[in-house]
A and B are shown apart, each in its own frame.
Chain A
Amino acid sequence: MSKTSYINRPNRPLQIYAVLFLIFLYVPVLFLPLFSFNDSIYVRFPLEGFTWRWYIELWHREPVWNSLMNSVKVGAATSVIATALGIFAAKAITRYRMPGRGPIVGFVMLPLVVPGIIFGVALLVLLSRLGVPLSLYTVAIGHMIVCLPFAIATLIPRFEGFNKSIEEASADLGENGWWTFWRVTFPIVWPGVLASLLLTFTISFDEFIMAFFLSGTEPTLPMYIWGQLRFPQQFPSVLALSSLIIFVSFFIVLIGQYLNRDVQETLVKKDT
């Protein structure tokens, strides 16, 4: 039994705990796709039979497509801007010795822990004071606040993962700060940028509270779902829509993680 050392010897109770944990985490979510294929408008057992009906109905519904496009627009704008800001913030945080760095980082990361409802109300008050009409733009502003900490948190390990002497080498070889960024820094952090784009897009796409407070007449997809919940006969197609969203979000985040997978290796390599 030389293959299993003390440290990686299987621990039966912990394995059972892990399996139970995953079951409780995902079983509720799995009910959505399950009932979205059920041939009944009532969500209850026993299942009545398999059907594509709700998905087909969804396909032909105009407002779904509209709100989907709204969410994609907001998500695209949010992810690009939040990631761009995140790149600058992560570079500043990792590269410059600045006074009060700790508090500044904490401040930037604060939206992670401040309840969305508080930010939503605050922004709503501010925007209405300023006389800004609610629209998809205001939703995007709210989403940027929510997404920026995620972008920064995704990008910081990338920036920390390579030695600053690589940037110095570029300067030494005749490139100014701007060219050094484009020829060295950006290509090296690129996987992190992609991961950040995908993650922030997903967060914005799924976000409800900010959109609830800040959207005007054009709903995002979660807003649309929220609106449909009032109509019992629509519920199965809401389940179908939710199932699709879960699947797509899961897929996008997985891609992001995959692209950014070697960040750990880089962190290890830095020390050698």
Chain B
Amino acid sequence: MTNDAFISVRNVKKMFGSFQAIENISIDIAHGEFFSLLGASGCGKTTLLRMLAGFENPTSGEIYIDGQPMSDVPPHERPVNIVFQNYAIFPHLNVRENIAYGLRKQKLPRAKRNEMVDEMLDLIALPGYGDRKATELSGGQRQRIALARALILRPKVLLLDEPLGALDKQLREQMQLELRALQRTIGITFVFVTHDQEEALTMSDRIAVMQGGKLLQLDTPTGLYETPHNREVASFIGTMNFFDGVVTAESGSDLTIDTKGLGEIVAPKRQTTYGVGDVVQVAIRPEKLQMADAHDPEAAHSVSGFLQNAAYLGERSHFYVTIDGVERPVAVSSQNINGSGTGFDQPRKVWLNWRKDVAVVL
């Protein structure tokens, strides 16, 4: 365990009967971090979150929060609070009673308690809602009440289980920004579960990408997007073009790779341990490819292809270019700067240019 780890998940495994939900995961989360668990449904992210909350116990391994092992600590004694996916608002209590629910043990005078609830209502931008019935609220309002109910206890860690999943797109985007701002204001650790990669990229300091109970990559949003460590992460986060190839030479921090379709290209080696003769894949993001009518002598690499399809998306356009020797059409994305649609009518012959450091070897 590193010293600055506030939450430390050590070699945790979780079995449900014979089904392995979590396969030996170790994660350190720093104090004040906005940390996301990202993955498709069934990847084990919610199970991991529920283990942090104490609703499930690891089959083996240990979870430390603030230096304390959590195995024998029941949910009601953990220094964490959770916002459930369905918010789990108490239907028989009004908004004020919902928010004040966790304050019973503190035995505060009524005036003090009301003051705290009013403060929370201000924080979540629902002042004066205290006497509303919980069942009369909209989805976004319930979500905020659930948040206030957890935050009033000043937890060391706030766990959020896909809290924005049920909201419509606009409200979701607004809440993403609000949550992020809130987290910066109060400075506590957020552990956020989501299956929405865009949401994770927008909000997180660091993201753990999970699949089938395994941790695929733990990185910053930039790290995940720009330098994915494997094909699963590369294709889960955003769109990615893959090219098969074989390493033919190694020089310093670069690899020379003979790829089908692209010919011989140079790409940074980064963390990989590939050497000459290894079969690899080269991955390039659609927006890193620049499409032009001619070969660009400035670019490190260039390849000609045939523009097959274009999709106009307003702010940008997607193009699909077939290249000889490449099985699937290559996706290219570009900003619509000139204000006259895609700027390319198809079908036609085009050139794709890219800088050598944008390619990722997997």
Q: How far is the CB of B57 from chain A (nearest CB, A)?
A: 14
A172: chain B residues at CB < 8 Å are: 53-54, 75-76, 78, 80-82, 150
Alpha-carbon distance between A187 and B146 when the two chains are bound, in angstroms: 19
Closest A residue to B84 by CB, please name it.
A165
Contact segment of B100-108, B194-202, B206-214, B312-320: B100-108
Tell me if A184 counts as interface (CB < 8 A to partner B).
Answer: yes
Also in contact, A169 and B76, with CB within 8 A (given A174-B153, A175-B104) = no
- Looking at A165, A166, A173, the one whose CB has the most chain B CB atoms below 10 A away is A173
B127: chain A residues at CB < 8 Å are: none
Tell me if B149 counts as interface (CB < 8 A to partner A).
Answer: yes
Contact segment of B86-94, B244-252, B349-357: B86-94
Contact of A174 among B90, B91, B92, B105 (CB under 8 A): B105
Also in contact, A176 and B84, with CB within 8 A (given A162-B91, A168-B55, A184-B90) = no
Alpha-carbon distance between A169 and B146 when the two chains are bound, in angstroms: 9
Alpha-carbon distance between A173 and B91 when the two chains are bound, in angstroms: 16
Whether B86 lies near A173 (C-beta < 8 A) is: no
Tell me if A58 counts as interface (CB < 8 A to partner B).
Answer: no
Alpha-carbon distance between A172 and B55 when the two chains are bound, in angstroms: 9
Whether B101 lies near A170 (C-beta < 8 A) is: yes
Contact with B along A147-163 (1 / 0, CB 8 A): 00000000000000011
Alpha-carbon distance between A173 and B67 when the two chains are bound, in angstroms: 21
Alpha-carbon distance between A173 and B76 when the two chains are bound, in angstroms: 6
Q: How far is the CB of B79 from chain A (nearest CB, A)?
A: 10
A188: chain B residues at CB < 8 Å are: 91-92
Tell me if A92 counts as interface (CB < 8 A to partner B).
Answer: no
Contact of A173 among B54, B55, B74, B81 (CB under 8 A): B81
Also in contact, A171 and B84, with CB within 8 A (given A166-B90, A184-B90) = no
Contact of B74 among A165, A170, A171, A179 (CB under 8 A): A171
Whether B92 lies near A173 (C-beta < 8 A) is: no
Whether B75 lies near A163 (C-beta < 8 A) is: no
Also in contact, A163 and B105, with CB within 8 A (given A168-B55, A172-B81) = no
Alpha-carbon distance between A170 and B153 when the two chains are bound, in angstroms: 13
B80: chain A residues at CB < 8 Å are: 172
Whether A168 lies near B76 (C-beta < 8 A) is: no
Contact of B76 among A163, A166, A174 (CB under 8 A): A174
A163: chain B residues at CB < 8 Å are: 86, 88
- Looking at B75, B82, B150, the one whose CB has the most chain A CB atoms below 10 A away is B75
Closest A residue to B53 by CB, please name it.
A172
Q: How far is the CB of A166 from chain B (nearest CB, A)?
A: 5
Contact of B90 among A169, A171, A176 (CB under 8 A): A169
Contact with A along B274-308 (1 / 0, CB 8 A): 00000000000000000000000000000000000
Whether B92 lies near A187 (C-beta < 8 A) is: yes
Whether A171 lies near B88 (C-beta < 8 A) is: no
Also in contact, A168 and B75, with CB within 8 A (given A163-B86, A173-B81, A174-B153) = yes
Q: How far is the CB of A171 from chain B (nearest CB, A)?
A: 4
Alpha-carbon distance between A184 and B92 when the two chains are bound, in angstroms: 8
Closest A residue to B81 by CB, please name it.
A172
Closest A residue to B55 by CB, please name it.
A168
B104: chain A residues at CB < 8 Å are: 174-175, 179, 183
B55: chain A residues at CB < 8 Å are: 168, 171
Alpha-carbon distance between A247 and B359 when the two chains are bound, in angstroms: 84
A166: chain B residues at CB < 8 Å are: 88-91
- Looking at B82, B85, B146, the one whose CB has the most chain A CB atoms below 10 A away is B82
Contact with B along A19-36 (1 / 0, CB 8 A): 000000000000000000
Closest A residue to B100 by CB, please name it.
A173
B90: chain A residues at CB < 8 Å are: 166, 169-170, 184
B82: chain A residues at CB < 8 Å are: 168-169, 172
Alpha-carbon distance between A171 and B90 when the two chains are bound, in angstroms: 12
Contact of B86 among A165, A171, A183 (CB under 8 A): A165
Closest B residue to A171 by CB, please name it.
B75
26 intermolecular pairs with C-beta atoms under 8 Å apart: A162-B91, A165-B84, A165-B85, A165-B88, A166-B88, A166-B89, A166-B90, A168-B75, A168-B84, A169-B90, A169-B146, A170-B90, A170-B101, A171-B74, A172-B76, A172-B150, A173-B76, A173-B101, A174-B76, A174-B102, A174-B104, A174-B105, A176-B76, A179-B104, A183-B104, A188-B91
**CB-CB nearest 7 A-B residue pairs:** A173-B102, A169-B88, A165-B88, A171-B75, A187-B92, A165-B84, A166-B88
6 A-B pairs besides A168-B84, A175-B102, A187-B92 with CB distance below 8 A are: A163-B86, A166-B90, A168-B75, A171-B74, A173-B102, A174-B102
